[in-house]
Structure 1
Amino acid sequence: MNFTGVAPDAKLGMWRIFGCDGGANEDTVIKGLLLAHEAGCNVINLSLGVQSAWSEDAMAVVAERLSQKGVIIVAVAGNQGDDGAFLQNTPGTAKHVVSVASLDNSYYPAKVFTLDAVRGDSFVYQLSTTTETFVNGTLVTVYDMDNTQAIHGCADDLPILQNHGQEIQGNVLLVRRGGCTFDEKAQTAEQVGAIAILVYDNEPTKGTDDEPFSIMAAKSNIPVAAIAPAVARQFLTNHLLPSNVVFPEATFDKSIKTALKVSAFSSVGPTYELDLKPNVAGIGGQVFSTLPRHLEGNGGFPTGWGVRSGTSMASPHVTAIIALVLQSFHQTPTHMEQSISTYVTEHLQNHAILPNQNLGNINHPLLQGAGLVQPLDTILNPLHVSPSSISFNDTSSSKYHRHTLRVTNYGQKPLNLVLKHLPADSLDTFGLEGQLAAHRGKPKVDTGLTLPLPLPLPIFGNRIHLRKRGPFASPADPSNAIEKLQAVNPFTPQEPTPPGHTKVQLELSRRQLSLGPGQSQTFDVEVRFPPTSEHVYQMYGGYIQLHLQESRQNDTLVQANIPYFGVLGRMHELPVFDDGFPFLSTSDNISNVIPSNRVFRFHPSSLLPHGGLHPGLSSGHHRELITRQLDEQGQDTSAQSSVVPGLPAFVCRLITASPKIHFQVLHESNHQVVGYLPDTPFEYWERNRLRADDFYRMIIWDGQIQAEPGSSAAKQTVAPGNYVVRISALHLLGDPNNPNDWDNWVSGPILVE
């Protein structure tokens, strides 16, 4: 391919941490980090992560310690952009680790086809893993019953396809994704004489309407490829088929409409400690890159090459730029007061650019950090600002509302600078802008959500994955669990996070700076809030920019960017539990919601063989995840655990993350503490999301307790008697010694026989 990498002189070290199934546990990742450090790596990239916005996560703690030793750690922001705020990935959540967001590429090499019915345009397609080349012919389709979509083309559709046999024979068939495997679609089409199939997805994820998806086929005798949902919609809505279709063998550079915009999949910050994340952005959407040579079906590209998207593509881009900058600074050292690793990471942020700034489209720092990294500017620009970003935190305390920044000229010429404030549109975390009267305790909004009850429910590492898409919730009266849900807590994070219109004023202690060679000066920046009545937890943000005084009429000549953000509201006042949660149910049937006026009866020794734990359960079964598995999208892939019927199960849904959750067993009569559920309290729980596989958690009690909280305490079976279980969740940024900063729930009576 004759490409030169971003840092061609860098020495590469690689440590494999994923197994054959595509996952790894955190211990393996940490071991890989330590091995890379011991080998002398200056920069370490992790194109992986687990969705956890806690900087206390084990991987983040280790990465932070290595950062303090002078190693620059670069990690993904994550690919959960659809799921709202506070969804950064660990270890990128560590304070001094560089978390990387993704921007879409400007062009990418693509296979395209033309349709006679649409003159002068071409359309991208992607070959399946079983297809090396596609065939020309006539593109036809068979509409479904509503005459708006193509049929799925599965074996069940064979009679319908046979009725259109003369139209399909010898032609390329357009079918819709879903209903069966891609191989079955190909085999069915082949039976009715089709020479190839094109597949589209009529329910694409956000931001993928103009992109074909990847097709993993196993065995297809005819060519199979995917086209973009928007393209198929154009063909079907306008009834353009049948029409002649041509698939040239050449690869073309295809422009991207969303060039240099934040990728739809890129995760939104901040961390739960309100640190500004991500830090910077790299190109991660539609990247032409190397791939493992053993992979088959690379979209028609040569072996070892293909197009991929994700923050996992943006992160190595930024890592290579840091290596290039380090090489330059080692060759022409600067007399800096900081360590070189701190200087480089700050300088990288100082001289990132804000794409589309001239068009007035300023992305929020929680989407892109300081902006798109610029290697040449980072190397050549002598202006340095520290710190390189600002978090004004929330409005609970004035401690974080004023910051001092130090500006240094490491160049050989004097600099006369003008300071400017460039606010961005806020992020409306809960969708409450325009509903400023909404507050805890006020009337809730009717969302019309319903309670799906697919049973039995499979459990994966104490996470229940619903087979039916859509949210699950219990109303405030759990006895009516099957009734239509009439209320949802207004502090449920919006997914994805919508933009708002709130901006704040910044008071700058100085508007101009004059710096001679080697000189430093400081200035203060203080945030001024709108009236408290307008605070509905919007996350405001923007940039402080330093311009050369001689070029202040030309806004393109920005010398440095300093991103900032904050929250209009008191985070410690947010509720942890959603309305109607927690509630008591049975381990094998979550629809069996136990109201507070009904006694739950169980006999641990009759449920558990030999009075011990059921096979497949362990004392660690109470943990949210026994061992988190990582895949390339940062999703948990924990193994399935067995379900013991008849045990009490506590179903929790968190709309705000909590650093600590206690599960206490109390005497029903006087609420005196008897003990704690094994291995509790839980620490650093993430909030739950609206998608079905992460809508709630279920904690099962097997009758074991321990006298003291903690994972190392001795465990024993609770004595027969009447008990209740109290769940206490500490508010985010709450004071553990303040009773008002805890959400508490107490179950109905539980009779242990």
Structure 2
Amino acid sequence: MKLTAILSALAAATLVSAGKFHPVEEGKVDFIPNAYIIEYSDGVRRNAAHNSLKANKVDYKVRNEYNIFNGAALTVKSGHEGDALAKIPGIKNVWRVTLHKIPKVNKSTKKPTDPEVVSFHHMTGVDVLHKKHKLTGKGIKIGIIDTGVDYKHPAFAVPGANEGCFARNGKNCRVKYGWDFVGDDYNGSNTPKPDGDPMDCNGHGSHVAGIIGGNALNIKVSPKPPQPFVGVAPEVTIGAYRVFGCYGTSSDDVILAAMELAFNEGMDVINMSLGGSSSYKSNPTAILADKLVARGMALAAGAGNEGTDGVWMVADTGLGDLGTSVASFDNAYGFYNSFTYGGVKHPYAPSDAWNMAIKLPANATLVPIFEKDGSLSDGCDEELYNGINVKGKVVLVYGDESRCLSGRGVNAKNAGAAAILSQTTPAGIATMGGSYNYPMASIEHGAGEKMIAVWKKNAKSRITWSKGPSTFTIENGGSPSVFSSFGLDGELRSKPDLAAPGGNILSTYTLADGGYTVLSGTSMASPYIAGAHALYMQAKNAKSHGDEIRKVFKNTATISSNHGSKTKASAAKQGAGLINVLSAIMTTTSISPDHIDLLDSKHFKKSVKISIKNHGKHTETYTLSHTAADALNSYNANNTFPLGTPVIEADYATVSFSTNKVKIPAGKTVKITLKFKEPKKGKASEFPIYSGYVIATPNSKSGIPVHVPYTGLKGDVSKVPMQDTAQGFPDLMSQKDWQVSAIPANTTFDLTDPKNAETLPVVVSRLGSHTPDFTIRVFDSKKKFVGFLFSSDIGRAFGWAGRVNNQSFHGKLMFSRWTWQGQVITAADLTLAPVTVPSGTYQIVVASQKKLTKGVYPADYEVFDMGNISIKTAPKPAEEE
């Protein structure tokens, strides 16, 4: 077929369905300029798509090509923007190439030597599978997309060897597959230098690999482990796909290439302990993940470590319909330095900036810092120290890394305090950034309460510090990790899916950095699920699709409670619960679907059908029941940004069944109708997220109960606040040298030379919730719409967006800056290049589409008129398409 015929056919196809450009999310500027990921239209082959690009005068260089994803990553040299690419025949979707940081984990100074520290296999039944059933994951391949693997580590050696090795398809190496896509010096913005050696120089990937398949039970060479431990699947075959350099970031076009290579090399499971923050499922990695699972793989991805930011924060890669988004539970034990106060010993974790044991004089006393209402303060307001003598004393405040990290350290130090102890809220021991050269540490919530009680009785009680670490049963141990991200996603879908041990996990590390360490994060929980897949596949002698295994894991997970609670933790926190691999392998029952999304009150699903299948050899009778879980209230004080720690409420839905008991013959399936009623308690105006679990319990003694989680939101989700108006957002301001300030009266911004302009108008925005379409609209002096604002920093001000984090790691309030140099996109069809508007006065309107609406403007949007702004421009003609 001639090129003209190909292009004619492509053009005809796009008349039916135009391509779509997905701009960088509001608040996220971590992308590579002029680099795009394009997905070809269904049925369009690579050569035809490239011919179409060239025919439209696109000058580009191929960064990566993809087969299963059916697309490519390009560096565009001809100035074409994403929306211009999207309208080219044969293009289905276009995204900017964005950057992903090496996942943040909580690194401890603990030196775990007590066997109880690696007790997490007792939490999941894996210890029984190892000892009684002799399951090791042998014959299963797991691909690790991460920082590489230190394959020389003795924990990855074959039996009888003192050192591991890497050889593609080698017989005597456990790390048999893999590739280095980037090289040591890659940081996300420079040119990758791939080679065949996936050696890890960071440590994250090696820790992940040890959780999946490390074996440190009989290490005889140095460095020896602080205690013997074994991964989930110690005989699994490993594929190491390195997408990060020693430091820095990686780009999602590299990650997509690694995912496809892992599939092509026959990996049964992919682990992805990486991903961004709040997002929608229409991102490239989630789309490819679903395609891989549909082809027979399984995929586990970390849900994210933004638990202290509140709801709507599950990370992007696991948001697909078929992949598994993994939450974290804390290990039950930890090895900590400690102090004694009032005769009671309390563990503590030093701040990241201090990162060592605290040694203070034995005469140090405690001074809690209180707010005016008598509650314990976070120490961020320096005026609270006025009139209080804290010189040489230890200050007690509350809060974790979401607080004003270095700011409160400076306040205490300036007041003369010797150190800060910070009470974790609501439980556990949180991570802290801290102030350099100043002792700061996090303590358990219960410890803070006990210390205040002692101080009230005797303010002269002294604090003594331990000389070394010891083992503690940790507050929140065996419960959902505080740091683990909350759902739901932007469409009120149930995410995360499942939980695994991820807090305080001992595993392998790069030999150059000691060989072993303890880390915490959903990065540690995700590989646990990946390893569990290997045990399941080995036990069943079959390699089922990942979504089928996910269903079994979710059906049989342990529904758990938060620390100290008698009620069950929200499914928006723990998913279906903590994985129980033993129950998953032994069960003879399944429930479909594996989750129920009830949506909000306006779209409430009153009636839902589930299917219960008896996989056993005999007829079984099941009793149906319902267990409600905690409701999460994030807007209980008319706040316009979700609370960092949602208020737990007893807002319970009710469920009735078409039959309370059902008899199912062997091999048969029965459908049951569930009738839901929203919680009577809970204010619809506060939008509580409620959840629970529908359970089918076999009558036979050996039968294993199975369940499915449900989630819903009471109230109209379209009324959930989008912008954080309580903090003054959105606003139209002036920016100079990255500092924003109010615009002086009668100001005209001279934008005739945008590259050298010292001062620019800027729209600041702070999204507290997902929106299907975030827009900044520009109107002229006659109120006529002239286009959507275009920012050289972020891009086009339209398209879906996740919420922003509460604060940065350094305690700064997070918000987005849309600087304006007078350019707009004139149409809403995403197919026009930016043009410069004439000099004049313009009205700026920020509008965010509300969740689960059709997108009719302005009725379906939260709209803010920012007022007028005067600019002077040098208009340029629109680019010829």
The alignment's TM-score, normalised by the length of structure 1, stands at 0.70
2:48 corresponds to: none
Select between 274-283 and 647-656 the one with higher mean Cα deviation. 647-656
How far off is 1:59 after superposition?
2.5
Deviations 1:608-650 (A, max 9, x none): 3xxxx34xxxxxxxxxxxxxxxxxxxxxxxxxxxxx5322111
Does 2:469 match 1:258? no
Q: For the residues of structure 2 that align with 1:125 and 1:533, how far apart are their CA atoms?
A: 37
Distance verdict in 2 for CA 1:428–1:673, change over 3 Å: same
2:711 corresponds to: 565
Which amino acid letter does the alignment assign opposite residue 413 of structure 1?
H
Distance verdict in 2 for CA 1:414–1:533, change over 3 Å: closer
Structure 1 residues 116-515: aligned runs within 5 Å: 124=347, 139-141=362-364, 201-203=420-422, 205-206=424-425, 210=429, 228=443, 234=451, 237=455, 247=467, 252-295=470-513, 303-330=514-541, 340-355=545-560, 360-398=566-604, 400-431=605-636, 490-515=639-664
Report the secondary structure of 1:724's partner residue: strand
Q: For the residues of structure 1 that align with 2:364 and 2:682, how far apart are their CA atoms?
A: 57
Residue pair 1:126, 1:214 contacting (<8 A) in 2 also: no
How far off is 1:136 after superposition?
10
Report the secondary structure of 2:778's partner residue: strand
Q: For the residues of structure 2 that align with 1:738 and 1:135, how far apart are their CA atoms?
A: 57
2:201 corresponds to: none
Which amino acid letter does the alignment assign opposite residue 514 of structure 1?
K
Deviations 1:565-615 (A, max 9, x none): 111122223343343543221122533146xxx55412211x43xxxx34x
Distance verdict in 2 for CA 1:207–1:292, change over 3 Å: farther
Report the secondary structure of 2:666's partner residue: coil
Distance verdict in 2 for CA 1:17–1:364, change over 3 Å: same
Q: For the residues of structure 1 that align with 2:327 and 2:260, how far apart are their CA atoms?
A: 25
How far off is 1:68 after superposition?
2.2
1:686 corresponds to: 802
Q: For the residues of structure 2 that align with 1:326 and 1:133, how far apart are their CA atoms?
A: 43
Deviations 1:47-100 (A, max 9, x none): 222112311233222222222222211111111112111111111222222111
How far off is 1:719 after superposition?
2.0
2:118 corresponds to: none
The alignment's TM-score, normalised by the length of structure 2, stands at 0.61
Q: For the residues of structure 1 that align with 2:719 and 2:361, how far apart are their CA atoms?
A: 62
Q: For the residues of structure 1 that align with 2:598 and 2:268, how far apart are their CA atoms?
A: 31
Report the secondary structure of 2:532's partner residue: helix
How far off is 1:717 after superposition?
2.8
Q: For the residues of structure 2 that align with 1:490 and 1:344, how far apart are their CA atoms?
A: 40
Distance verdict in 2 for CA 1:310–1:712, change over 3 Å: same
Which amino acid letter does the alignment assign opposite residue 258 of structure 1?
N
Distance verdict in 2 for CA 1:39–1:740, change over 3 Å: same
> Paired residue for 2:688, among 530, 535, 538?
538
Residue pair 1:730, 1:741 contacting (<8 A) in 2 also: yes
Which amino acid letter does the alignment assign opposite residue 46 of structure 1?
M
Among the aligned pairs, what percent are the same residue? Answer: 23
Residue pair 2:421, 2:440 contacting (<8 A) in 1 also: no
Q: For the residues of structure 2 that align with 1:729 and 1:345, how far apart are their CA atoms?
A: 35
Deviations 1:126-175 (A, max 9, x none): 699999998999745488899999x9xxxxxxxxxxx99xxxxxxxx989
Does 2:294 match 1:58? no
Deviations 1:95-125 (A, max 9, x none): 22211111121223x255686x876x65546
How far off is 1:564 after superposition?
0.6
Does 2:879 match 1:731? no
Which amino acid letter does the alignment assign opposite residue 362 of structure 1?
K
Q: For the residues of structure 2 that align with 1:135 and 1:669, how far apart are their CA atoms?
A: 65
> Paired residue for 1:699, among 805, 814, 818?
818
Distance verdict in 2 for CA 1:683–1:95, change over 3 Å: same
Q: For the residues of structure 2 that align with 1:134 and 1:721, how far apart are their CA atoms?
A: 62
Q: For the residues of structure 1 that align with 2:260 and 2:502, how far apart are their CA atoms?
A: 27
Name the count of aligned residue pairs: 602
Does 2:230 match 1:7? no
2:303 corresponds to: 77
Distance verdict in 2 for CA 1:724–1:74, change over 3 Å: same
Report the secondary structure of 2:300's partner residue: strand
Distance verdict in 2 for CA 1:681–1:146, change over 3 Å: closer
Q: For the residues of structure 2 that align with 1:181 and 1:559, how far apart are their CA atoms?
A: 49
Does 2:707 match 1:548? no
Q: For the residues of structure 1 that align with 2:444 and 2:646, how far apart are their CA atoms?
A: 23
Does 2:768 match 1:655? yes
Residue pair 1:106, 1:259 contacting (<8 A) in 2 also: yes
Residue pair 2:362, 2:464 contacting (<8 A) in 1 also: yes
How far off is 1:668 after superposition?
0.7
Q: For the residues of structure 2 that align with 1:562 and 1:179, how far apart are their CA atoms?
A: 43
Q: For the residues of structure 2 that align with 1:128 and 1:73, how far apart are their CA atoms?
A: 34
Deviations 1:515-542 (A, max 9, x none): 2221111111121235699523221111
How far off is 1:493 after superposition?
2.1
Distance verdict in 2 for CA 1:581–1:322, change over 3 Å: same
Residue pair 1:200, 1:229 contacting (<8 A) in 2 also: no
Distance verdict in 2 for CA 1:10–1:593, change over 3 Å: same
Q: For the residues of structure 2 that align with 1:95 and 1:578, how far apart are their CA atoms?
A: 30
Residue pair 1:543, 1:564 contacting (<8 A) in 2 also: yes
Gaps of 5+ in 2: 1-215, 218-228, 371-375, 380-390, 398-404, 873-881
Report the secondary structure of 2:599's partner residue: coil
Report the secondary structure of 2:584's partner residue: helix
Deviations 1:660-701 (A, max 9, x none): 123333221242426753642432222345436454322111
Gaps of 5+ in 1: 152-162, 165-172, 186-197, 296-302, 334-338, 433-488, 615-643
Which amino acid letter does the alignment assign opposite residue 549 of structure 1?
N
Distance verdict in 2 for CA 1:738–1:549, change over 3 Å: farther
1:574 corresponds to: 720
Residue pair 2:323, 2:546 contacting (<8 A) in 1 also: no
Structure 1 residues 590-609: aligned runs within 5 Å: 590-593=740-743, 599-605=746-752, 607-608=753-754
Which amino acid letter does the alignment assign opposite residue 62 of structure 1?
L
Does 2:777 match 1:664? yes
Structure 1 residues 511-530: aligned runs within 5 Å: 511-530=660-679
> Paired residue for 1:105, among 327, 331, 341?
331
- Across the aligned residues of Structure 1 and Structure 2, the Cα RMSD in angstroms comes to 4.2
2:208 corresponds to: none
Which amino acid letter does the alignment assign opposite residue 309 of structure 1?
S
Distance verdict in 2 for CA 1:179–1:383, change over 3 Å: closer
Residue pair 2:294, 2:545 contacting (<8 A) in 1 also: no
How far off is 1:377 after superposition?
0.8
How far off is 1:708 after superposition?
3.5
Residue pair 2:324, 2:498 contacting (<8 A) in 1 also: yes
Report the secondary structure of 2:659's partner residue: coil
Distance verdict in 2 for CA 1:4–1:199, change over 3 Å: farther
Distance verdict in 2 for CA 1:41–1:207, change over 3 Å: farther
Q: For the residues of structure 1 that align with 2:700 and 2:325, how far apart are their CA atoms?
A: 34
Residue pair 2:428, 2:476 contacting (<8 A) in 1 also: no
Q: For the residues of structure 2 that align with 1:673 and 1:83, how far apart are their CA atoms?
A: 37
Report the secondary structure of 2:421's partner residue: coil
Distance verdict in 2 for CA 1:570–1:713, change over 3 Å: same
Report the secondary structure of 2:722's partner residue: coil
Residue pair 2:406, 2:435 contacting (<8 A) in 1 also: no
